[in-house]
Structure formats: C-alpha cells, structure tokens
Amino acid sequence: MTRKNKKRNQRKTNVASKREAVKGSTDTGIYHKYVTSESLKAILQNGSLKITNPLDFNDPFDCNFPEYKPTINLYSLCEPIIRQKFSSLFKNLPKNQENAIRAKIYKELLPHSLPKDLISKGLHSVQNEWDSYISEYRVLSLTTKRDNILMWSHYGDSHRGAVLSYNFSEDKTFKGIEKVKYDENNKLLSQFIDNILKTYIKFIIRSSDSIDIAIEKLDDFTDRPDIVNPLTQYFLNEMKPYFFIKKNDWNYENEHRLVKRINEIQDDFLKFNPEALIEITFGIRFDESLKRELIDTILEKYPHVTIQNAIKYNGVLKIVKHNN
C-alpha cells in the first residue's frame, strides 16, 4: 500500500470514528448547532460559525447581572470586632449586662456603613459596568442534543432549518467549551462579596484606631478611583463563570458554550476545520430545491460528511440517512 493510500485510509478511519461518536454519550466532544437554512448556506460556504455578543441574546436575562443574597450572618460577622475591641469592657460583668451592652454595640455598628454602604457602593459600580463588560466577550452556543423538538422549533426555524454536528476534539480554535449550569440559586456573587466583608472586618479588628475612625478610613479608601477601578475589574473577571449559568427554564437545551474575549478573535466568526463537521441533518420542512443546492456544496467541500433528514415516523421525530 502506498503512503498516499495509507493516509487516505487513515483519514477515513478517523472520520468514521468521529461519526460513530455522534451516537454515543455527551462526553465524546460531539456538539450540535441548530441553524436556519440561510445560516446553513453561509456556514457551508464560509466554513465558519458566528459567535454572538451576549447583549444580542434572545433571552435578556442570559448573562444578566446576578442577584446578591448574603450567605453570612452580619451579627456573627461583627462578633470578632466586639471581642477584640470591647473584651476589657465585658470583663467581670454579669451576663445580662454584657448582653445589653453587646446589643447596643450591634445597634450602633451595623447601620454604620458596615457593610451596607460598602456593598451598595461596590455593586452599583459593577452593575453600571456590567453590560460594557459582557459586550467584550462573544459566545458560541452548542448542544449535545440533535433531536430535541423544542430546539428544532426555536432555533431550527420550525424544521425549515438544519442541525450541524461537530467533533472539535482536534480543532484548537474550539478548545475550552464548557457545559452550562442551570442554577436559580447560584451563590458565586454572594460568596465573593461575603469574602470582601470578612476582609473588611479583619481590617477593623487589626486597626489600632477606634471603630469609627477605622470605618472612616475604609470609606475614604473605597472612594479612591485608583483603588476602586482595579478592584471593579478584578471583580468582573471573577464573574466570568456567569457566562455558563442560566435559569432552570432552559435546561432542556443541555447547552455548552465557548466564550472568547474580543481580543482573542479577528471578527464575530470562528473558522472551523472542515473535518470537524461530521453530519448535517435537514429539517422536516427544509426547502427541497435549496437542499439539492446545498448537498452539491457538501459533496464538493465536505465529502466526508454524513447527510441526514429529520422525518416524522409514527408521530415521533426520527433521523435517517439521506438517499440521493
């Protein structure tokens, strides 16, 4: 066997193994993209997939600024300050008197810009920058399901579109695809802010100043742009996982995402390795004349691709191989 024939046979073997993986588990690196007929034509001609600005998503709550829900008790948070600053005051006091004094200190301490002003000031700053921040990223949405009736309706133009199946395991452009989590109660933001509050408390405890002066110094500190701006950017970077969190309503999509910063890409389209495209499934209502035109393109540019049709069979969706 010549070297050229060996290489051709190896290529056929690789494509066949990738195609077989489409039928396997969701952990094989096989992803699907539902598209309209117009998008399919452009994708086949250009060999690229559009990567979207999150501000253009059809769901305005996608990548939305997360809600802050405190996960720590403010009284327990303030307790180390009381122990540090007032231990001598409590010495030899009856428990009832200590509790009365402690309650008075809590009453004075909690409303005193600790920590509500800090939280509101920080969140307001970040919230104002959120849309600007996420607009610096682009997102490619994929799924591990190619036979979901809802997605055929929503993204496949009510079956007038198609599904493209990819194996990106050898395409470096698409490294870093992550599974979306469907979580209504994600605590990432809350945990991040609570850690900031703990740092705030540590500063007051370790300060040789009185509580009032220590808090005043912190307020002055957080008013400085040279401090606040870098902290805001750091905070935003820590919130990147929110690109991979959606509301439970969308869990039927089993979505996976590739997130790229705009300085990582040339434009809003990602070129894919032609061999990464494994299968194309035409929707039940796909225009027949356009299908014939696109099949010619597939045979010319992607001869290894399996061409399939979605059909209605006994009231259910089935995917069958296309017969010329």
10-50 confidence digits (pLDDT tens): 554 554 444 444 443 344 679 999 999 999 999 999 999 99
Helix (H) or strand (E) holding 182: strand 181-182
- Do 221 and 197 share a domain, yes or no? yes
User: Which residues fall within 8 angstroms of residue 251, CB to CB, at 6 or more apart?
Assistant: 182
CA–CA dist 197, 68 (Å, integer):
13
Instruction: Please state, in angstroms and as integers, the Cα–Cα distance from residue 282 to each residue in 8, 26, 76, 141, 144, following that order.
Output: 28, 21, 60, 19, 17
- Tell whether 175 is covered by a domain: yes
- What is the structure's pLDDT at 160? 97
- Tell whether 217 is covered by a domain: yes
- Do 142 and 271 share a domain, yes or no? yes
- Tell whether 178 is covered by a domain: yes
DSSP letter assigned to residue 52? B
User: What is the count of structural domains for the chain?
Assistant: 2
In the block, which residue shows the tokens 């017969």?
Answer: 323
- Do 98 and 217 share a domain, yes or no? yes
- Do 121 and 147 share a domain, yes or no? no
pLDDT interval class at 117 (50, 70, 90): low
- Tell whether 161 is covered by a domain: yes
- Tell whether 64 is covered by a domain: no
- Do 176 and 251 share a domain, yes or no? yes
The answer on pLDDT for 137 being more than 80 is yes
**Vertex 205: Cα angle to 199 and 206 (nearest 5):** 90
CA–CA dist 257, 127 (Å, integer):
23
- Tell whether 42 is covered by a domain: yes
- Do 90 and 122 share a domain, yes or no? yes
- Do 109 and 194 share a domain, yes or no? yes
- Do 195 and 317 share a domain, yes or no? no
User: Which residues fall within 8 angstroms of residue 106, CB to CB, at 6 or more apart?
Assistant: 75, 78, 82
The answer on pLDDT for 146 being more than 80 is yes
Q: What percent of the chain has pLDDT over 90?
A: 43
- Do 201 and 293 share a domain, yes or no? no
- Mapped onto helix, strand or coil, the DSSP state of residue 167 is strand
- Do 92 and 211 share a domain, yes or no? yes
- Do 180 and 307 share a domain, yes or no? yes
Give yes or no for a contact between 134 and 244, defined as CB atoms under 8 angstroms apart.
Answer: no
- What is the structure's pLDDT at 33? 98
- Do 173 and 229 share a domain, yes or no? no
Residue ranges making up the domain that contains 293: 14-54+137-184+247-321
